[in-house]
Amino acid sequence: MIARSTQSDVFSRRKISIIVFIIIIGLLYLARLYYIQVIDHRYKIYASSNVQRVITDYAARGLIYDRNGELLVYNEPYYDLMVIPRQVTSIDTTEFINLLGITEEQFINRMQSAISHSRHKGSVFERQISKDIYAVFQEKLFRFPGFYVQPRTLRKYPYQMAAHLFGYVGEAGPSIIANEPYYKPGDYIGISGIEKHYEEILRGQKGTRIILVDALNRDIGPFQDGRYDTLAVAGTDLFTSLDYELQLYGERLMQNKRGSIVAIEPSSGEILALVTSPGYDPNLLVGRVRSQNYRNFQEDTLKPLFNRALMANYPPGSVFKVANFLVGLQEGGINLNSRYSCPGYYYSGGITVRCRTHPQPVNVITALQHSCNTFSCIQFRNTLELPKFGSMQEALTTWRNHLISMGFGRTFNSDLPYELSGLLGSSDYYDGIYGTRGWRALTVISLAIGQGEIGTTPLQLANLAATVANRGFYYTPHIVKAIGTNDNLNPEFLDRHNTTIDSVHYDAIVTAMYETVESGTGRFSKIPDIPFAGKTGTVQNPHGENHSAFIAFGPVEEPKIAISVIVENAGGGASWAAPISSLMIEKYLTREINRAWFEQRILDASF
């Protein structure tokens, strides 16, 4: 009896184990089915790929206007031809390539590329088909199963200007896609200029549509009446501070010349015009022609892609005397009663700095008016050798800090990408070359006339003109005036930046710059009935002809515009940069030019 009971128990336990095992297997299958059907949508997608197509609706980028509401950048419809390799069956290849204007080899290569990307997902076969080609291709698309069209927009520019300011839009690269979840392969992103800095504002929000297609790849309507679709949200419009008429005029004046023009509204820091020459038509970096044109620009020896206004590093020449005189007045190296004779040169310790013939003796005002190098060297040396400075290092650091407060030697951290800081010699730099006791004021005397270990950008020089126009302060130079319907700019653009120079010292400099235009080195560029102030500069260039430089603002009282102009290899500042500044100021303040002969001389010039 005992043996029989034991065998029965073993049988029962085995029966229970088998039942439990079957139940567990069943539960596992049920769980797997639940996961596949409810949680994991991949198989559903694979099953529906024959009848459903997911289309990304790219948002139209925000429009860009000038300060007066003139449309500068808008969108134009284009189409990407997409392909799902698994759905491509027998098609008339000859008809297909003729419609697109491609070769058979290109067709094969693109199909192989699409297959390597994914057999089941759509990828771009032909980018940026124009609306004219699309109109013809659309009627025959049903003959080519596996192909469909992805609508999108590309930038269009009604005026051939300001390419460096606007920047351009290009396809997001692998590194961007890896770091920014928003972007997917084939998405576009701002690469430079305004398009880059305001990308998140301009791009808007992508939408998604799921449509049903029949066996011939034809659209037969939205999936479940669009229940799972999401709407694209257009990007926000930008209103720039640019005056498009002034910008166009500046680019016209700079034709056949290398250099730049930067114009700023002193009371706000808003950039009115930013010209870099040579430039290019921004439409040339849009669509299917962009890659080839970009390569052509890169190989061009004139460097049309180089933004001289923000990135060129020029010694400022004599225009820098304005900043140096302000430092001298502030520190006591000179005062308004300082007077010196000029024999036509400055000589000391075996160093000679030549000067030009002009009335003398000179003081602060007449020295700037006639751009006296001798006075500039004396005041610079006097300032650095003041007894209150315990060392040459302390003296130069004090000088340098004053210049930094004026915007030199650093960037403005504005909405202008790729701005460079320029160069401003420091005591550490000279210590590294000469040793801590191996240099003195005479060693760096070239800084007195804006030469030597100093480099400035045209934007920094325009900001100096704006600072003097404001009698001692400036606002961060920026290009966007308003975002959408709100003036919600970066609050830092509204902050007033005071220099370390007392405002009382600016009156003498304003007077000197006014006299420069009235009866000094810039008198040739005087505007009838518009009093403006300026300073000429001739920038020594070891690689060829000197550069022509000028800074100015006008009118003298209640200034509306401050400007810097650099014309490379053009010689003296009074000959070319000053006349261009004069014409720009006249154009902005009066909206017309009344000196036709004066204007024609600039338009005909070529360097």
CATH (domain of 87): 3.90.1310.10
pLDDT digits (tens, 9 = 90+) for 489-504: 778 898 999 999 999 9
Q: Would you state the structure tokens that stand for residue 452, as one six-digit string? A: 């030597």
Of the candidates 106, 52, 117, the one whose C-alpha atom is nearest the C-alpha of residue 83 is 117
Reduce the DSSP state of residue 429 to 3 states and report it.
helix
480 lies in the same domain as 393:
yes
Per-residue model confidence (pLDDT) at position 474? 98
345 lies in the same domain as 209:
no
Q: Cα separation of 131 and 156, whole Å?
A: 14
pLDDT digits (tens, 9 = 90+) for 387-404: 999 999 999 999 999 999
- The percent of residues above 70 in pLDDT, for the chain, comes to 94
In a domain, 523, yes or no: yes
Instruction: Give the pLDDT band of residue 131 (cuts 50, 70, 90).
Output: confident
Of the candidates 450, 461, 456, the one whose C-alpha atom is nearest the C-alpha of residue 563 is 461
211 lies in the same domain as 271:
no
Q: Cα separation of 200 and 204, whole Å?
A: 7
In a domain, 200, yes or no: no
Reduce the DSSP state of residue 382 to 3 states and report it.
helix
Per-residue model confidence (pLDDT) at position 1? 46
Angle at 403 between CA 369 and CA 355, to 5 degrees: 35
Q: What is the mean pLDDT of residues 289-293?
A: 88
Residue 454: φ, ψ to 5°: -150, 135
Q: Would you state the structure tokens that stand for residue 59, as one six-digit string? A: 């948002």
Q: Cα separation of 3 and 18, whole Å?
A: 23
Per-residue model confidence (pLDDT) at position 37? 64
According to DSSP, the β-strands at 71-83 and 52-57 are unpaired
Instruction: Give the pLDDT band of residue 2 (cuts 50, 70, 90).
Output: very low
Instruction: Give the pLDDT band of residue 51 (cuts 50, 70, 90).
Output: low
Per-residue model confidence (pLDDT) at position 138? 85
Instruction: Give the pLDDT band of residue 12 (cuts 50, 70, 90).
Output: confident
pLDDT at 58 over 60: yes
Of the candidates 428, 489, 472, 471, the one whose C-alpha atom is nearest the C-alpha of residue 453 is 428
Q: Cα separation of 325 and 508, whole Å?
A: 10
In a domain, 151, yes or no: yes
pLDDT at 148 over 60: yes
Adjacency order of strands within the sheet including 52-57: 52-57, 207-213, 219-222
In a domain, 173, yes or no: no
Cβ-based burial of 375 (10 A; exposed 0-12, middle 13-18, buried ≥19): buried
Per-residue model confidence (pLDDT) at position 543? 78
Q: Cα separation of 282 and 157, whole Å?
A: 7
Q: Would you state the structure tokens that stand for residue 429, as one six-digit string? A: 């730099």
**Which alpha helices (H) appear in 300-391, and where do they start and end?**
308-311, 321-331, 364-369, 373-384
99 lies in the same domain as 115:
yes
417 lies in the same domain as 515:
yes
Q: Which domain holds residue 71?
A: 52-168+205-238
Per-residue model confidence (pLDDT) at position 592? 94
**Which alpha helices (H) appear in 435-519, and where do they start and end?**
458-469, 506-519
249 lies in the same domain as 231:
no
Report whether 546 contacts 538 (CB < 8 A): yes
Per-residue model confidence (pLDDT) at position 252? 97
pLDDT at 590 over 70: yes
* Number of Cα atoms under 13 Å in the Cβ half of residue 426: 10
Q: The CATH number of the domain where 580 resides is what? A: 3.40.710.10
Cβ-based burial of 491 (10 A; exposed 0-12, middle 13-18, buried ≥19): exposed
Among 90-99, 155-164, 297-306, the range scoring the smallest mean pLDDT is 90-99
pLDDT at 49 over 60: no
Final residue of a structural domain among 194, 221, 238: 238
Per-residue model confidence (pLDDT) at position 50? 53
In a domain, 11, yes or no: no
209 lies in the same domain as 60:
yes
Q: Encode 32-41: b = buried (16+ Cβ within 10 Å), e = exposed.
A: eeeeeeeeee
Q: How many residues does the chain have?
A: 607
In a domain, 44, yes or no: no
Per-residue model confidence (pLDDT) at position 208? 85
234 lies in the same domain as 248:
no
332 lies in the same domain as 410:
yes
Cβ count near 22 (within 10 Å):
10
Q: Cα separation of 499 and 475, whole Å?
A: 11
Instruction: Give the pLDDT band of residue 603 (cuts 50, 70, 90).
Output: very high
Q: Would you state the structure tokens that stand for residue 285, as one six-digit string? A: 């970096």
Angle formed by the axes of helices 321-331 and 506-519, nearest 10° = 150
In eight-state DSSP terms, residue 405 is: H
Final residue of a structural domain among 218, 238, 258: 238
In a domain, 258, yes or no: yes
Among 158-172, 284-298, 574-588, the range scoring the smallest mean pLDDT is 284-298
Final residue of a structural domain among 238, 260, 289: 238
Instruction: Give the pLDDT band of residue 6 (cuts 50, 70, 90).
Output: low
pLDDT at 483 over 70: yes
In a domain, 27, yes or no: no
Angle at 254 between CA 252 and CA 259, to 5 degrees: 155
Amino acid identity at 218:
R
**Cα-only R_g, the chain:** 34
311 lies in the same domain as 385:
yes
Instruction: Provide the whole-model pTM.
Output: 0.86
Reduce the DSSP state of residue 526 to 3 states and report it.
coil
Per-residue model confidence (pLDDT) at position 151? 85
487 lies in the same domain as 561:
yes
221 lies in the same domain as 332:
no
pLDDT at 4 over 60: no
Per-residue model confidence (pLDDT) at position 210? 83
* Number of Cα atoms under 13 Å in the Cβ half of residue 350: 1
Per-residue model confidence (pLDDT) at position 220? 74
**Structural domains in the chain (count):** 2
Instruction: Give the pLDDT band of residue 593 (cuts 50, 70, 90).
Output: very high
pLDDT digits (tens, 9 = 90+) for 247-263: 999 999 999 999 999 99
Per-residue model confidence (pLDDT) at position 46? 46
